[in-house]
Amino acid sequence: MKIGIIDADLIGRKKHRFPNLACEKISGYWKDNGHDVHLLLDYNWTDDFDHIYISKVFTDTPSPDWLKETKKVHIGGTGFFFDKAPNLPAKIEHHMPDYHLYDVWINEEMQKAEAEATEKGEKFNKARFMSQFKEYTDYSIGFLTRGCFRKCKFCVNQKYDHVFSHSPLKEFHDPSRKKICLLDDNFFGFGKWQDSLQELIDTGKPFKFKQGLDERLLTEKKCEMLFGASYDGDYTFAFDNIDDYDDIHEKLKIIRKYTKSRCVKFYVLVGFESTDAADIENAFKRIELLMRYQCLPYIMRYQNKNHSPWKDSKLKNLYIALARWGNQPSIFKKMSFRQFCEANQALRKTPDKLCSSMQAMTEFEKENPTIAETYFDLRYDNYTLDTKDTKE
């Protein structure tokens, strides 16, 4: 049979650079059963395909309105179904992913870039170009556990109310690959987390948890093992709710007891409870605490399956400016929020007209002077890890 696979996010998102694990598992299953598999880069497939599989992770990824499930066309993923996405059949879900599904596409992208560089008389740096595809070429990817007990209303992980073992490491670990990437929903909520973490450590390979870890579950033992391991990139956690402030403050003290790394990042959810001044204040209060412990924020603007409330807010441009400032570490580490807005204003060719960032900041400060005075001039580089808080 001839099988077509469509990664909808790859088609619909210009800068998307992460493989769709479901697509890789589907490809692996059909290839190992002797069938002809093709990664399709548009929705114009020919009639000679026996099955078409389309998977989408992100709800805001565009896809054709005419797409529907048929005997030939199979649609799945949180991007289509949010928290009601159907599971893959067990024989596919627990099949070794096809880590070469994207090889032809990557090679074509490289050839195009090399040709463009040659046409411009520029030297093509293959290593630099290929670095954007590292998740496709360097990593074994999978879930050791699935599920979460938190039931956060903003999260797609509503299907289960506990964390359970999903796959043994050998099910998706390719020994020829340099690194391991875990997509677990809430790894430290698993009762046998220590055994699983030790198994990862014993591979001798750098690994990372792509979805982030629940810092509210951290203990001395968990920090000792996690921060003592060969970890790949940023340690990522989440600071979604201002009500967790005191708890996370205590966990930050434990984190800094076991690592001085600057590569500790927290997702900071905004625009969920409200899209008003209180939400902006809560965001800055969380950011300030992270600054104190030399951790980086990553601003996550809430969106559900059909709606992004912040886009309809009068503070829309302030949310945009906040994310642009907070999500660029090279800028965040050197500028306060006010300085970032001023720097954007300085780049305008018509200085008598305010840029969107400066205008948003100015208008908010006029209406909320206390919040602005408290937070807009805070700078990451004014804090050090040698603070009283980290020694308590």
Q: How many CB atoms lie within 10 A of CB 207?
A: 21
What the block records as the tokens of 23 is 């697509």
Q: Which of 105-139 are b and which e, b meaning 16 or more Cβ less than 10 Å from the residue's Cβ?
A: bbeeeeeeeeeeeeeeeeeeeeeeebeebeebbbb
Contact status, residue 147 vs residue 162, Cβ threshold 8 Å: yes
Q: Sheet with 235-238: list strands edge to edge.
A: 235-238, 264-270, 296-301
Ranges of the chain whose pLDDT falls below 50: 388-392
Alpha-carbon Rg for the chain in angstroms? 23
Place of tokens 């033992």: 221
- Contact partners, residue 69, CB within 8 Å, separation at least 6: 75
- Interatomic CA distance for residues 340 and 333, integer angstroms: 11
**Do the bridges between strand 164-165 and strand 145-146 make them parallel or antiparallel, or are there none, so unpaired?**
antiparallel
Task: Please tell me whether residue 38 adopts helix, strand or coil conformation.
Answer: strand
* The predicted structure's pLDDT at residue 391: 41
* The predicted structure's pLDDT at residue 137: 98
* The predicted structure's pLDDT at residue 161: 85
In angstroms, the Cα distances linking 258 to 81, 85, 154, 218, 229 are 40, 38, 31, 12, 11
pLDDT for 268-317, tens place per residue? 999 999 999 999 999 999 999 999 999 999 999 998 777 889 999 999 99
* The predicted structure's pLDDT at residue 351: 78
- For the chain, the helix, strand and coil percentages under 3-state DSSP, each to the nearest 5: 45, 15, 40
Q: What angle do CA 157, 263, 280 make, to 5 degrees?
A: 60
pLDDT for 151-169, tens place per residue? 777 777 777 889 999 999 9
- Interatomic CA distance for residues 168 and 196, integer angstroms: 9
Phi-psi region of 282 (alpha: psi -120 to 50; beta: other; left: phi over 0): alpha
pLDDT for 122-146, tens place per residue? 999 999 999 999 999 999 999 999 9
* The predicted structure's pLDDT at residue 386: 64
Q: At what angle do helices 356-367 and 337-346 cross, to 10 degrees?
A: 140
* The predicted structure's pLDDT at residue 40: 98
